[in-house]
């Protein structure tokens, strides 16, 4: 699967490899970790929403935003950023509304197989 | 160079570690600020790279603590932070961070930033080594701290003026000037290897004693030779080496130790030669009294083309007032330190 011709891909692998200065092996190891971590991070976010814990929500969303941006899971990072902003603005409704889109992205990420 | 890395996200930690290690840095990676501080207390690091948001202790607090703990040499601190946290950048810099990199960073930028840090830390080390070594010269020889200071200033004046002359303009760039300023005062470091009986002798040296005295140029070069072999690209070392070995060469090829003539003598050595002779003539030394400025100038002028590069002597003549001012600004602190002076022969004005 070529990500360049597939806008629905959750990870911009070309950008990621570029970030790694061409080291494909490193990019693959990062994605391997990310696939596990993004699921854990998402459950942190969901738990925080369920418990109306804005502080924990902002922290969890911030963490996902950073990790996702490093592996070029750009849509995931963007959605996590929106949730972080919502949490910091005490807008739990907005955070909930974004959660569904994020859930879909996270699922795509968790199933994502790197191809170059 | 060793780097302590604090990053809670393991994907990012892997990425940063690999990036820095691929550039030759040795990385110790931990998961949060508290662990980083423990490591740092065990063993200080010249550089810390830290994420800003971390559990237990965040990057800001880590930075503050590290900067407070700095004892011996500097620790350069790079903060890794998310693009959206502009206010955090200010907090990081306020806490003492030297630089920051915004997420998502790439390997090339990260490595370049770390290399800036390495250069900065090395600059400090170089400065400290230079000061320590010049102190060594002062302790061991009869030359005062003021003499070393004057040599540096005189060389800088002469170099700045020489830069305006087409013959030298190409060779003298900012790095040359900076290097000369940092190394000119180490020109006589080889004197540490000369026995006291010769170094401090208040009367004329015998032929044999003179040839031993002349080996201070070779000993001086030897001080820098091993380091230069290991870091052949280092201009600071190269210049220190050149100056030590060539500041007693003469333009006509009758100097020592290698009897090389003209342009084959490094420019730095030719510059130091004039300044060193001028300062020696106009200072009270263990073997002779100070000569008036005008006499020293005439002597140097007479030696133009034989002892000194004639083009540099021409430049020297354009900065005489600055030379006088430097002599005035840095007088010798303790001329009474050499009681044998009273018996020393007084050199008649030329």
pLDDT over 90 at B229, yes or no: no
List of residues 6+ apart from B71 with CB closer than 8 A? B44
Long-range pairs of A55-64 with CB within 8 A, sequence gap ≥ 24: A55/A87, A57/A83, A57/A84, A57/A87, A57/A92, A57/A95, A58/A84, A58/A87, A58/A88, A59/B53, A61/A87, A61/A95, A62/B53, A62/B82, A63/B8, A63/B9, A63/B53, A64/A38
Residues B248, B188 contacting (CB under 8 angstroms): no
Residue B315 has pLDDT above 90, yes or no: yes
Q: Do B14 and A30 touch (CB under 8 A)?
A: yes
**How far is residue B62 CA from its own chain's centroid?**
32
Of the two residues B133 and B163, the one the predictor is more confident about is B163
Model confidence band, residue B341 (pLDDT cutoffs 50, 70, 90): very low
- The upper half-sphere exposure of residue B39, i.e. CA atoms within 13 Å in the direction of its Cβ, equals 20
Is the confidence at residue B335, as pLDDT, over 50? no
- Distance between start and end Cα atoms, chain A: 8
Q: What is the pLDDT of residues B3-21, one digit of tens each?
A: 999 999 999 999 999 999 9
Residue B89 CA to residue B272 CA, distance in Å, equals 46
CA distances, B179 to each of A71, B176, B279 (Å): 43, 5, 20
At residue B168, the pLDDT reads: 96
* Strand partners for B30: B6
- Residue A2, pLDDT above cutoff 60: no
Which of A11, A12, A19 is best to mutate for the B interface (most B CBs within 10 A)? A19
Are the C-beta atoms of residues B73 and B121 closer than 8 Å to each other?
Answer: yes
Per-chain mean pLDDT for chain A: 90
Instruction: Indicate the average pLDDT of chain B.
Output: 88
Q: What pLDDT shows up at residue A4? A: 46
Strand arrangement, sheet containing B99-103: B26-30, B2-6, B47-51, B76-82, B99-103
Contact B22 A21 (CB under 8 A): yes
The pLDDT score that the predictor gives to residue B142 is: 60
For residue B342, pLDDT over 70 is answered with: no
**In chain A, what residues touch B102 (CB-CB under 8 Å)?**
none
Give CA–CA dist B347/B51, Å, rounded: 68
At residue B231 the predicted structure's pLDDT band, cuts being 50, 70 and 90, is: confident
Using a pLDDT cut of 90, give the percent of chain B over it.
63
Greatest CA separation found in chain B? 78
pLDDT surpassing 50 at residue B344: no
Sorting pLDDT into bands at 50, 70 and 90, what band is A51?
very high
Q: How far apart are alpha carbons B92 and B71 in whole angstroms?
A: 21
Q: Do B82 and A65 touch (CB under 8 A)?
A: yes
Between CA B280 and CA B291 the distance in angstroms is 9
In this predicted structure, what is the pLDDT of residue B270? Answer: 98
Checking ipTM against 0.95, whether it exceeds it is no
Residue B134 has pLDDT above 80, yes or no: no
Phi, psi angle pair for B82, to nearest 5°: -75, 150
- Token pair listed for B10: 């393991």
SS3 assignment, position B163: coil
> Which residues of B lie inside 8 Å of A (Cβ-Cβ)?
8-12, 14-15, 18-19, 22, 51, 53, 82-84, 103-108
* Per-residue pLDDT reduced to its tens digit, B261-306: 999 999 999 999 999 999 999 988 766 778 999 999 999 999 999 9
Identify residues of A whose CB sits under 8 angstroms from chain B CBs: 18-21, 23, 26, 29-30, 33-34, 37, 59, 62-63, 65-67, 69-72, 81
pLDDT at B33 over 80: yes
**Residues B178-196: tens digit of each pLDDT:** 889 889 988 998 988 999 8
Question: Cβ(B108)–Cβ(A74) under 8 Å?
Answer: no
Q: How far is CA B251 from the centre of its chain?
A: 26
> Which of B8, B11, B51 lies at the smallest CB-CB distance from A33?
B11
pLDDT of residue B346: 42
Helix, strand, coil percentages, rounded to 5, for chain B: 60, 10, 30
Is the pLDDT at A1 greater than 50? The verdict is no
| Res B223 pLDDT > 80 | yes
Amino acid B339: pLDDT: 41
Cβ-Cβ contacts under 8 Å, A26 against chain B: 14-15, 18
- pLDDT score, position B145: 74
Q: In the prediction, which pLDDT does B334 show?
A: 56
């Amino acid at each position: 699967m070529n990500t360049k011709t597939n806008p629905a891909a959750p990870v911009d692998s070309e950008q990621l490899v570029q970030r790694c200065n061409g080291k494909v092996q490193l990019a693959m190891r990062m994605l391997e970790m990310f696939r596990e971590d993004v699921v854990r991070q998402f459950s942190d976010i969901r738990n925080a929403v369920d418990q109306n814990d804005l502080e924990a929500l902002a922290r969890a969303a911030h963490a996902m935003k950073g990790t996702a941006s490093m592996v070029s899971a750009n849509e995931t990072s963007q959605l996590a950023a929106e949730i972080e902003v919502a949490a910091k603005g005490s807008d739990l409704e907005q955070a909930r509304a974004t959660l569904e889109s994020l859930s879909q992205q996270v699922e795509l990420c968790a199933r994502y197989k790197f191809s170059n | 160079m060793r780097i302590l890395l604090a990053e809670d996200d393991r994907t990012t930690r892997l990425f940063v570690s690999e990036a820095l290690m691929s550039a030759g840095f040795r990385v110790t990676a931990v998961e949060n600020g508290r662990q980083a501080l423990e490591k740092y207390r065990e063993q200080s690091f010249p550089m810390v790279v830290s994420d800003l948001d971390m559990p237990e202790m965040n990057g800001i607090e880590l930075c503050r603590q590290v900067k407070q703990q700095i004892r011996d040499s500097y620790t350069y601190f790079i903060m890794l932070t998310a693009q959206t946290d502009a206010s955090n950048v200010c907090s990081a810099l306020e806490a003492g961070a030297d630089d920051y990199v915004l997420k998502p960073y790439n390997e090339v930028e990260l490595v370049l930033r770390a290399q800036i840090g390495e250069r900065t830390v090395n600059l400090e080390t170089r400065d400290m080594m230079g000061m320590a070594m010049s102190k060594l010269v002062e302790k061991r020889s009869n030359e005062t701290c003021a003499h070393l200071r004057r040599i540096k200033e005189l060389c800088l004046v002469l170099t700045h003026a020489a830069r305006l002359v087409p013959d030298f303009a190409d060779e003298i760039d900012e790095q040359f000037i900076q290097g000369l300023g940092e190394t000119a005062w180490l020109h006589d470091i080889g004197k540490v290897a000369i026995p006291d009986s010769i170094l401090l002798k208040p009367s004329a040296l015998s032929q044999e004693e003179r040839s031993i005295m002349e080996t201070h140029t070779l000993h001086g070069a030897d001080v820098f030779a091993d380091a230069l072999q290991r870091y052949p690209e280092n201009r600071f070392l190269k210049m220190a080496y050149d100056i030590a070995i060539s500041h007693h060469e003469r333009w006509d090829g009758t100097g020592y130790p290698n009897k090389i003539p003209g342009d084959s003598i490094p420019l730095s050595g030719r510059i130091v030669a004039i300044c060193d002779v001028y300062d020696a003539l106009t200072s009270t030394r263990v073997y002779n009294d100070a000569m008036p400025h005008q006499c020293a100038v005439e002597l140097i002028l007479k030696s133009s083309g034989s002892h000194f590069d004639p083009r540099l002597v021409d430049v020297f003549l354009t900065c005489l007032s600055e030379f006088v001012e430097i002599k005035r600004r840095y007088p010798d602190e303790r001329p009474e330190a050499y009681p044998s002076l009273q018996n020393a022969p007084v050199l008649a004005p030329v």
